[in-house]
Amino acid sequence: MEEVHTVKSYDEELAHLTGIIARMGGMAEAQLTAGLQALARRDDDLAQRVVAGDARIDELDREVQSFAVRLLALRQPMAVDLRQIVGALNISGEIERVGDYAANLAKRALVLNRAGITAPVAGVVRLGEMVRGLLKDVLDAYLEKDLTKALGVWSRDEEVDAMYNAVMQDLITLMTEDPGTIATATHLLFMAKNIERIGDHATNIAEALHYQILGTSPAGSRPKGNTVGGPE
Amino acid sequence: MEEVHTVKSYDEELAHLTGIIARMGGMAEAQLTAGLQALARRDDDLAQRVVAGDARIDELDREVQSFAVRLLALRQPMAVDLRQIVGALNISGEIERVGDYAANLAKRALVLNRAGITAPVAGVVRLGEMVRGLLKDVLDAYLEKDLTKALGVWSRDEEVDAMYNAVMQDLITLMTEDPGTIATATHLLFMAKNIERIGDHATNIAEALHYQILGTSPAGSRPKGNTVGGPE
């Protein structure tokens, strides 16, 4: 049953909260895109802009936190609205972490470029593109309150893990066959891990949206491929 | 100014919330300790118990989330109490992630043991012991509401990063000198990273406690050593 707000400005405040999250999400998407581009094109300037850009996402996360706390204090919401505010707190934290990982990706790209090494980045970039799609879809799902789309993201995490394992295996094979690549490949290993974790956070956002709309977590275990990595 | 609660059972509910967090924190500490032990002593049974034990921490995190939401709905708290509940939500999430990293550590220890490789684990174990101390201190600080102790943890994160960089460098040197160690060393690299991230989460808990008590983040930039890792 839909609650009718007698004071319209409360709806506006909830919309404002959602708006900040939408902005954060857009920034995090853009940061991941730019980080992957900086890696693929060996673009130092772009990488540095990504690193510097993370502070803005952190700022918005703090804004969500304090705005949510104010809303809770002043409006004392019930039920659905309460879950929406708590959901916003959760999702904001997830997006903030995605931003961190994107900035870390860019930092490592800088290190690789400065060492003057041409690294085999194609696998990592492909993995990044796959996760970028997941992130975009889950953020769309959040804005549209589209649970079906969110659950679609949730189930695609397994594909990410499969590609991640393949990328890891390739890098280990490379390092074993050519020890001269170890330092570079180590960076790529961590970049792949960062990207895989962004995929995890996209899945977390899907779960948080499920909880926000239905009040429960998605049924059954979360689909996870084995990502311990390395030869088994 | 201290708020006096006219209904005593609200204080009991806040205490209950803190109690769940305390239990989660204790479990996460124990999981990290056991994970490091499983690695140092090549103890498969212990590693498996750590992996299985993470579900309980996840369960408690969900309990904190739903209890906090109920408290917010039923009690409609103001000011300090509101920050305490939001703080509990944040800190619970941080502890849940520490638990995840500890379980990942144990999973990798299992993989190492099953591959029958004797790995040079001493550096990683030492790093883990350092972070275990940080985690213990910040959880104590949370329970005691001791801001000085929490800020002490916050500033020690730099020491963790320095030791982490040293461990990473040693592993890369090892891999370069002996390519036969690459698969094993890769696991150790990620274990070191997991531990370093647990240190980050301990620092996050210190920041969350600062916010909970004072309503602001700690002044100045967060102390961070360079942890991009690898040779520069």
pLDDT at B97: 94
CB-CB contact of A63 with A129 (8 Å): no
Instruction: Using a CB–CB cutoff of 8 Å, tell me whether A18 touches chain B.
Output: no
Domain assignment of residue A222, yes or no = no
Chain B hits for A105, Cβ within 8 Å: none
Contact A65 B86 (CB under 8 A): yes
Across residues A60-75, what is the average pLDDT? 86
pLDDT of residue B5: 55
> Is B228 part of any domain?
no
Instruction: Say yes or no for a CB contact (<8 Å) between A230 and B172.
Output: no
At B102-158, the pLDDT tens digits run 999 999 999 888 877 677 899 999 999 999 999 999 999 999 999 999 999 989 988
Q: Test A176 with B182 for CB contact under 8 angstroms.
A: yes
Tokens of A55: 């502070």
Dist CA B206 CA B140 (whole Å): 11
Percent residues over pLDDT 70 in chain A = 90
Min Cα distance B180 → chain A (Å) is: 7
Sequence-distant (≥ 6) Cβ neighbours of residue B156 within 8 angstroms: B134
Cβ of residue B93 closer than 8 Å to a chain A Cβ: yes
Given an 8 Å threshold on Cβ–Cβ distance, is B186 in contact with A172?
yes
pLDDT band at A230 (very low <50, low <70, confident <90, very high): very low
In a domain, A104, yes or no: yes
∠ CA(A101), CA(A102), CA(A105), 5° rounding?
A: 85
Look at A186 and B72 and tell me if their CB atoms are within 8 Å. no
| Local structure of residue B224 (DSSP, 8 states) | -
Whether residue B15 is contained in a domain is answered as yes
* Averages of pLDDT over each 10 residues, chain B, 232 residues: 61 90 95 95 94 95 88 77 86 94 94 79 95 96 93 92 93 89 89 94 92 79 53 28
CB contact under 8 A, A179 and B179: yes
Does residue A144 sit within a domain?
A: yes
Selecting from A93, A172, A176 the residue whose C-beta is nearest the C-beta of B93 gives A93
Q: What is the mean pLDDT of chain A?
A: 87
Quote the distance between the C-alpha of residue A153 and its chain's center: 12
Residue A111 forms part of a structural domain: yes
> Between residues A185 and A222, which one has the greater pLDDT?
A185
Q: What is the pLDDT of residues A116-132, one digit of tens each?
A: 767 789 999 999 999 99
For A46, the domain range is 8-214
Number of domains in chain B: 1
A73 pLDDT tier (thresholds 50, 70, 90): confident
Q: Does A109 touch chain B (CB under 8 A)?
A: no
| In-domain check, residue A220 | no
- Whether the Cβ atoms of residue B46 and residue B156 lie closer than 8 Å to each other: no
Phi-psi region of A42 (alpha: psi -120 to 50; beta: other; left: phi over 0): left
CATH number, domain containing residue B178 = 1.20.58.220
